[in-house]
Structure 1
Amino acid sequence: MISEKHTLAAAAFLITSTLAAPLSALSLAEQAQAFATCAGRYSAVATRQSATHNPDSDATRALQTSFESLLEATLPHAAEAGIDPRRARSWQASGWSEMAHLMRLQQRSTDTTHADRATRDMHRRLSTCRQLIL
């Protein structure tokens, strides 16, 4: 369990640090990974928002769709550069999983410090994604 937490933390750090770079500085593989990860993140949040009848769900779903479109446009070029397009599915799943984990901590943690940290992490990751397209 501890090893799994460290592995997830390391993966989240790598993805977040990759996303923090300006889009023009990213390789095709990094762009594809960023777009897929962000699509997964927004998909998880939109699903939660829809389930709780949050009025922001349509806007969040639109951001998810934007990242999916960017990913779709990037994948052929990434494939030409030797990137297996099937990896995008796993990058999306990673984005979904990290947000689901943070939302679970935010919602169910009895420790307000952990819940607040999860909220900040979630907002920071979504903000990092938003900066890629705005």
Structure 2
Amino acid sequence: MTLRICHILPVLLLCATHAAASLPRDPAEQARIFAACMGRYAAAMEHAWLLGDADGATPEARRELFEMMLDAILPDARDAGFEGIDVWRYRSGAKQAQSRLLQLSSFDPDRGRARRAQTLARRQIAMCESLILG
């Protein structure tokens, strides 16, 4: 993905204005959060596709936004000890966890367990949403 200043600047401004209080200052920790959010949105995107949900475009756009944010912070995160393999580890771990929650919420015959999984899946996404929507 080729990044231009016209793409990165709005992302950085968004981070500075909406999420400054809730986003850690450590670039490695920011990279962890961005990678995890990318994974959660990737799972939501795939789940929407699986269920034939027309709202699959929203998770895809959010995943792309977190990818741009991660790309913007990654050089500083690497200087702070965050390696390329860490991106994969946090992204895939969060994606697997979110996928499991979404599967349980949609298909578990135990309605109590399905509701708890749905609540937790929504909380995970809400944390990511709070970083970009304030």
TM-score, normalised via structure 1 length? 0.79
Q: What are the within-5 Å matches in structure 2 for residues 6-45 of structure 1?
A: 22-23=22-23, 25-45=24-44
What letter corresponds to residue 85 of structure 1 in structure 2? Answer: G
Deviation per CA, 1:83-131: give whole Å up to 9, x if none.
2122101100011011111012112222111100000000111000010
What letter corresponds to residue 72 of structure 2 in structure 1? Answer: A
Deviates most, 75-84 or 89-98: 75-84
8 Å CA contact 1:37, 1:94 repeated in 2: yes
8 Å CA contact 2:40, 2:95 repeated in 1: yes
8 Å CA contact 1:49, 1:57 repeated in 2: yes
* Alignment of 1:103 onto 2:97: no
In the aligned structure 2, how far is the partner of 1:54 from the partner of 1:108? 15
1:57 to partner: Cα distance: 0.5
In the aligned structure 2, how far is the partner of 1:31 from the partner of 1:120? 24
Q: What are the within-5 Å matches in structure 2 for residues 1-134 of structure 1?
A: 22-23=22-23, 25-134=24-133
In the aligned structure 2, how far is the partner of 1:70 from the partner of 1:22? 15
8 Å CA contact 2:43, 2:98 repeated in 1: yes
* Structure 1: tracts of 5 or more residues without a match: 1-20
Aligned to 2:17: none
TM-score, normalised via structure 2 length? 0.79
How many residues of Structure 1 are paired with residues of Structure 2 in the alignment?
113
- Calculate the aligned-residue CA RMSD, in Å: 1.3
In the aligned structure 2, how far is the partner of 1:42 from the partner of 1:79? 23
Q: 1:89 to 1:59 in 2, by over 3 A?
A: same
Question: Percent identity over the alignment?
Answer: 31
1:28 to partner: Cα distance: 1.0
By relative contact order (CA 8 Å, sep 6+), the higher-ranking structure is 2
* Structure 2: tracts of 5 or more residues without a match: 1-20
1:31 to partner: Cα distance: 0.4
